[in-house]
Every structure is written in structure tokens, then in C-alpha cells.
Amino acid sequence: MSGDMAIQIGRDALYMVMLISAPMLGLGLLVGVMVSIFQATTQIQEQTLVFIPKIIAIFIAIVVFGPWMLSLMVDYTREILSSMPNMIR
């Protein structure tokens, strides 16, 4: 395996991680901002108030985007396993 191939595999792996985690992180960020705005307008300064809505939002993101994320991971795994013979040369 050449250095270029190793860099390409690492770059593809990092891209896949970012692509798979984006829906959960984005929804968690959106809910966090909404709860922060709610806290600022009502002057409720409870630090633990944001956790339950974020957990629920991330769970919903996993349920909604789960099949898509799983198909991306399966396709990437198939691609890596099918290119294994080329890596050994």
C-alpha cells in the first residue's frame, strides 16, 4: 500500500464520519440554540434544562436518518473490503 492510498483511505474515513454524524450534531445544535433562546427570554438559568430536549432530538435524528446512515456505512465497508486485494500489492 502506498502512502497516497493510505491518505486517501484516511480522508474518506474522516469524510464518512462527518457525513454520518452531521444530522445528529445539526439537530442537537438547533435544539440547543432554541432552548438557549427560551432560557434567555424567560430568564430561567437552569443548566440541566437543555439535556432532555437534546437527547430526544438526537434520538429522533437517529430514528429518522438511521437507515440512510447505515446504508452509507455498509457501502463504505463494502468499498474498503473490495479494495483490499489492491492494497496488498
- Between CA 27 and CA 60 the distance in angstroms is 9
First to last CA, the chain: 7
φ/ψ of residue 15, rounded to 5: -65, -40
- Between CA 63 and CA 40 the distance in angstroms is 30
Greatest pairwise CA separation for the chain in angstroms: 64
For residue 89, pLDDT over 70 is answered with no
pLDDT tens per residue across span 8-54: 889 999 999 999 999 999 999 999 999 989 988 988 888 788 889 99
Domain total of the chain: 1
For residue 87, pLDDT over 90 is answered with no
DSSP class of residue 45?
A: -
Query: Global pTM?
Result: 0.76
pLDDT of residue 15: 95
Domain extent for 67: 3-88
